[in-house]
Structure 1
Amino acid sequence: MPLTPSGKTRFAMGAFRSYFADVRRDAGRDLPLAALLVGAGALLEGIGIVAILPFAALITGNADTQTARSILEFMGSLGISTEVGRALVLSCGFLLLLALRGLVVWKRDTKLFYMGLGYVDRWRSKLFRAIADAQWSVVSNLRRTDIEHSITNDVMRLSSGTDRMLKGGAAIALALVQLAIIALLAPTLLLMVLSLVLVAAAVTGPLLRKANRLGQRLTNSGRQIHSVLGDFLISQKLARLNNAQNQFLDRFDSSVRDVRSHQLDFFKSQTAARICFQFAAGCVVVAALLVGFFVLLTPLSVLAVTLLVLARLVGPVQMVAQTGQAIANTLPAYTSLEATLAELQDAAEPLTELDRTDHKMGPASLVLSDISFAYSESSPPVLTDVDLTIAAGEIVALSGVSGDGKTTLLDIIAGLHHAVDGAITVDGEHLDTPSAFRNWRSQLAYLPQDPFLFDSSLRENLTWSAEAVADEALWTALEIAGADGFVRKMSDGLDSRAGERGQNMSGGQRQRICIARALLRKPRLLILDEATNALDAQLEKDILERLIAMRDQFSIILVTHRRDTQQLADRLVTLSGGKIAST
């Protein structure tokens, strides 16, 4: 059900309270110092304005305010009685005050900037950590481009909004000090000034709601841009083969137009608010001048300082109003980040440390007992009562038609999915905790159907999941995988770039690099999920025979549809309808 206008306002206020509390919690021990610097900067600004009064008294020869008289009397008590002497002392004091204020403002702005950067960086880290800790079943169902948009665009908007919020706090402090000065010098004129604040509030209210709506549309359009860009980059070959580049360009241009339109609307609303406010401020200044001089008979020096304060007050009040709009525009990004983070954290696996003291060597034995699995409570079972035993050093081929649960079974063996019923035993030890499964994953190498390589050097691709590896070990692994020949022919050898997802190589070359990478992990179980299907039959046979010859180091589960390849295994296990049909 869509929210009513009042419901939307309550929702936005709740989101703002959550956002503000989050920033405050994140600031921690930095907050008192930041508040002190903000207050000191505003106070020094006010003192600098008040310091003009004795200057005015010297120039006019008439100390018509108690503040000016007190300062001049104090100087007289120190023996500074000449006009030149007083002017020099006041000038030096004013310059020292400016220098001190500059130092405080520099410290203040640096601290606020540091706090804003830290807040945004910690949000990125929280999201990244939440993705790493979440269950595979949840992460695999997330749209990659939505996550990318959250970590980049939404976080950048959060950065901008947080910066405006922190600077808005400084503007509020400055405005309060300046209002206090007006109350001290000309209390009656304060009523006229407060009318300026009321005008700002009246103008800002509707614009806040509009800014929030535009922020939500900007979030949606931004996600659409990331979605189109992600699809376009990942399907370049398909797009070119079908001459479909223009379809992506049309979708991309449409999304960009939406974003530009929302940004332009937001800019227009801010500009309109600024113009209205400046006009209202001008009216207040003119009215204060006329009323103060002709009606209230305010002393000229007091009136001059009051007008100066009014002129300087316009900036902070306007900044507060624009900060409100910026925060309202940021709130949809914050709520989107909160929702994404909550979804990931709700699916987090218990935090466990990897046991690096357990250095088991040699092939693993594996027993699966009564394994059943379904992707959700409402979906049909993918696996039912699966029993499978793999002896240490055994080579088992797994077959079955597409959709019979082969890859799901492999994911359960690797601990990516957790069985609804049943048990897994490795070397006689039960895998029944996240810690046990994590330690088990460090002892296996899993090569999925789609070989994945990073856009970095072959050396980095080979070693990223292994301990420190010497070049000799790299070339040995490449030789076993049948990849040493083409790697040596590359212009930069091991330092050659693989390209995005390994696009600088053929499918068969990618598969062989991935096999070599798996060997460098020194696994006790090697899982090959159609990991050689891009190779010709003879090359596949040669590589598998070399792997089988290493059965004293690891057991092998091999998924393949090729009869000749299946015959290389010690045993063929067939899955049908989520059950073991034959073995």
Structure 2
Amino acid sequence: MLKLFRIFASAKGTNPWLVVTCLVLASVAEILSMSAMLPALLAVSGESGILPPAFKVVIDATLAVTGMPATIAGFTIAVVLMLILRTILLGLALTYAGFSIANVSTRLREDLLNAMFDTKWRYFVDHRAGRIANTISVDATRAGHAYLESAKFVAAVIQGIGYLAFAMMASFKFAVAGIIAGTIIVVGMGKLIAVSRRAGRRQTRSTSQLVTLVADALNNIKPIKSMARTVPFIAMFGANLQALNKSIKIQVLSSQGLDRGNDILIAVMIGIAFFLAVGVWEITLASVTVVGIIAFQSISVVRRLQKFLQRGAELEASYHAVHEMSAKLAREAERAGGAQDITLDHGCTFDHVTFAHEDQPTVENVCLFIPSGKITVLQGPSGAGKTTIVDLLLGLHEPASGQITIDDRPLDQLSLKAWRSHIGYVPQELSLLHASLRDNIALGNTALSDEDIVEALRLADAEDFVNSLPDGLDSNAGEMGGRLSGGQRQRIALARALVGRPKLLILDEVTSALDPETEASICSNALDLAGVFTIIAITHRPAWSKIADRLYKVDNGAATEITAPAKRRRKSAETPVHE
């Protein structure tokens, strides 16, 4: 119960005090309307009775607010007006709470996305991306609905307090009996609420595991289909589907048990209350009628409380899952701050840099220099440590020892975001968005014009093939770029890296899966870009050694400059031959 109050009070993007104010005013209006009903019933029934002092004060206030005379007609109109006011206020409060579902879900997603992009790279290496995707999509949506259920629960609690206050004025004994009855109902159904809460947690976990597995399957759909592995792979979903099926059935059973159990308990309580009111306490018929109305409304409130509490218990696991994921990502946040004024006029230096994955050295005592405006090639077999060296330069990892400097300034004193804004990167694991070529190159940067994108395509030697497509820049790349050839995907990725006019261009095994002719074309393209950009090429292919200004052999985590680079032959720098 307290968890729902906390969700209502702490959810970002909401104004709980506005909702509470409307609900309290609605409850007051309802008390005023019920109070005005008693003297009217006394007059109609011909019964004599002395109204309790508290009733008289409330009735006078009701007549003063509505401007009605102390007649049957006046009392009736006052009742109707107060009920209309109560309905409007309650409607405003819950409508606002309903609209807040979008605000709550959106704020939770924004917090998650910000935390995700600020998280250390190591976190994504060690955790499954599908779990984050599920939290952002499924859990954030359910968290918004958890807020709505919490708001409805708070509304029912405030209504219940109002009815209790009125019952106290009408009959203290009846009010005490009502409190006892309500407590019995709540306690009696508490077990089913706990069952719903546990089922909700299981459903959240099972859904997260299922979505994560689906994401993994989609990332590997081509080899799964190509090797006819679909049947055994589908079998992997079995346990998750069964767990999800079981949790949903338990929720249905607990929901029905709660509803039917409430009906039985309430029927028993109504019979006992009527017997006590008329047979034992001898309350007047008019008072019994009014109190009966309050009892009926109170029973309705208790039922709604149970319903909202159960639904909230089912959904609160998702709300807490989103916050737990945000907190987990925040604990893994990259360092913030550092100098913003980044230059790359001289070059990048690795000075005895060592880095280890889980106590296993990956890069050890590396010393190398990447000169500005030149092509530096890191060459070596797979697993030698080439990509790790670049990841260290990108700030994705931090050295265990040694120092990396940019123009003689330590990297750990520079702003990572500012440094990365000067980098163009073409990764080894190339994947394009299922979107237009324009969107794939811009990556959401609305400041880039089509002219900027076309210039990047020209630099990447991709302008001609894009212009040959029927829809040009609006052509869809397909899932993971599946509508393009390997060479075309590489050139779009290169245009994506170049569109921001970076100081440093990193090419990680960009030709590893290409034929020699396409590789030679991309190497020639990189040669043309040298001088304008500082280029680092990671490769295990020999073609790149022909264009390198600096060539390092990387093996077993060590880097050695193995030979003087071949002289670059640029068409623009060729000397004409004279007779």
Shift of 1:336: 3.0
Q: CA deviation at 1:370?
A: 0.6
Of stretches 448-457 and 252-261 in structure 1, the one that deviates more from structure 2 is 252-261
1:459–1:495 contact (8 Å) kept in structure 2 = yes
Q: 1:291 to 1:476 in 2, by over 3 A?
A: closer
> What is the aligned counterpart of 2:351 among 369, 390, 397?
369
CA–CA distance in structure 2, aligned partners of residues 471 and 173 of structure 1: 57
In 1, the alpha carbon distance for the partners of 2:42 and 2:7 equals 49
2:485 aligned residue:
506
| Deviation, structure 1 residue 22 | 6.0
**Residues 36 and 76 in structure 2, CA contact (< 8 A), matched pair in contact too:** no
Aligned partners of 2:85, 2:362: CA distance in 1, in Å?
A: 72
Q: Which of 545, 560, 566 is matched with 1:566 structurally?
A: 545
Instruction: Report how far residue 67 of structure 1 moved.
Output: 5.8
141-150 or 314-323: bigger deviation: 314-323
Matches within 5 A, 1:6-25: 20-21=5-6, 23-25=8-10
The one-letter amino acid of 2:473's match is L
Q: 1:467–1:521: 8 Å Cα contact kept in structure 2? A: no
Cα-to-partner distance string for 1:460-517 (whole Å, 9 max, x where unaligned): 2112376744444433432443322332222211111112221221222111111122
2:397 corresponds to which residue?
417
- Once residues 559 and 59 of structure 2 are traced to their aligned partners in structure 1, the CA distance between those partners, rounded to angstroms, is 102
For normalisation by structure 1, the TM-score amounts to: 0.88
Q: In structure 2, what is the equivalent of residue 197 of structure 1?
A: 182
Distance 1:51 1:389, change over 3 A: same
Structure 1 residues 425 and 466 mapped into 2: Cα distance closer, same or farther (>3 Å)? farther
| Conservation of the 8 A alpha-carbon contact between 2:7 and 2:150 | no
Q: Is the 8 A contact 2:509 2:538 kept in 1?
A: yes
Asked if the contact 1:278–1:314 (Cα under 8 Å) also holds between the matched residues in 2, the reply is no
Q: After superposing the two structures, state which structure 1 stretch, 327-336 or 495-504, moved more.
A: 327-336
Say which SS state the counterpart of residue 354 (structure 2) adopts. strand
Instruction: Please state whether the residue corresponding to 1:567 is helix, strand or coil.
Output: helix
Task: Determine the structure 2 residue equivalent to 1:139.
Answer: 124
Aligned match for 1:102, one of 53, 72, 87: 87
The alpha-carbon distance between structure 1 residues 537 and 387, as it changes in their structure 2 partners (threshold 3 A), is same
In structure 1, distance between residues paired with 2:422 and 2:238:
48
Cα offset for 1:313? Answer: 0.9
Task: Please state how far the C-alpha of 1:552 moved relative to its aligned partner.
Answer: 1.8
Matched residue, 2:136: 151
Q: Which moved more, 1:569-578 or 1:23-32?
A: 23-32
Residue 437 of structure 2 corresponds to which residue in structure 1? 458
Tell me, yes or no, if the aligned pair for 1:27 and 1:115 is still in contact at 8 Å.
Answer: no
What is the CA RMSD across the aligned residues, in angstroms?
3.0
Give 1:388's aligned residue.
368
Relative to 1, partners in 2 of residues 1:65 and 1:273: Cα closer, same or farther, differing over 3 Å? farther
Q: Which amino acid aligns with 1:53?
A: L
Cα distance in 1 for partners of 2:94, 2:339 equals: 43
1:333-376 CA-to-partner distances (Å, cap 9, x unmatched) read 34433332222111212444894xx585x866221111100123
Say whether the 8 Å CA contact 1:371–1:422 is kept in structure 2: yes
What secondary structure sits across from 1:381 in the alignment? Answer: strand
Cα 1:525–1:276 shift into 2, 3 Å: same
State the distance in 2 between where 1:359 and 1:345 align: 26
In the alignment, what sits opposite 1:212? 197
- Supply the AA of the counterpart residue of 2:412: D
Counterparts of 1:516 and 1:345 in 2: how far apart (Å)?
Answer: 32
2:322 aligned with 1:337, yes or no? yes
Structure 1 Cα separation of the partners of residues 231 and 278 of structure 2: 69
Deviations for 1:347-406, whole angstroms, at most 9, x for unmatched residues?
212444894xx585x866221111100123xx2111111000122222122112221111
Equivalences, count: 557
- Alignment match of 1:492 (pick from 465, 471, 478): 471
Return the alpha-carbon distance in structure 2 between the equivalents of residues 539 and 327 of structure 1: 59
Report matched runs for 1:156-171 at 5 Å.
156-171=141-156
Q: Distance in 2 between matches of 1:532 and 1:194?
A: 76
Change beyond 3 A, Cα 1:387–1:73? closer
Report deviation, 1:412. 0.7
Report Cα offsets for 1:545-578 as digits up to 9, x if no partner.
2321232211211122222332222232111111
The answer to whether structure 1 residue 126 and structure 2 residue 105 are counterparts is no
Q: State which of 476, 481, 495 in structure 1 corresponds to 2:460.
A: 481
Q: Report the CA distance shift for 1:478/1:27 in structure 2 as closer, same or farther (over 3 A).
A: closer
* Equivalent AA in structure 2 for residue 199 of structure 1: I
1:542 aligns with 2:521: yes
Question: Structure 1, residues 124-156: CA drift from partner, whole Å, max 9, x if none?
Answer: 222111111111222332211111121222223
Give, in whole Å, the separation in 1 of the partners of 2:202 and 2:156: 29
Which of 150, 154, 157 matches 1:172? 157
Distance of 1:200 and 1:364 partners within structure 2: 77
Partner of 2:568: none
- For 1:289 and 1:194, the matched residues in 2 are separated by 15
| Segment of structure 1 superposing worse, 331-340 or 515-524 | 331-340
- Shift, 1:537, TM fit: 1.6
**Which AA in structure 2 matches 1:130?**
A
Equivalents in 2 of 1:474, 1:162: separation in Å? 43
For the 8 Å contact 2:19–2:96, the answer to whether it is kept is yes
Alignment of 1:417-436 (within 5 A): 417-435=397-415
> Structure 2: how far apart are the matches of 1:363 and 1:100?
72
Cα distance, 1:578–1:365 mapped onto 2, change above 3 Å: same
2:382, 2:540 within 8 Å by CA — same for their partners in 1? Answer: no
Letter in 2 for 1:261: K
Q: Tell me the SS of whatever aligns to 1:387.
A: strand
Partner deviation per Cα, 1:412-451 (whole Å, 9 max, x = no partner): 111111111111222233322251x332212221111122
1:281 to 257, 263, 266: 266
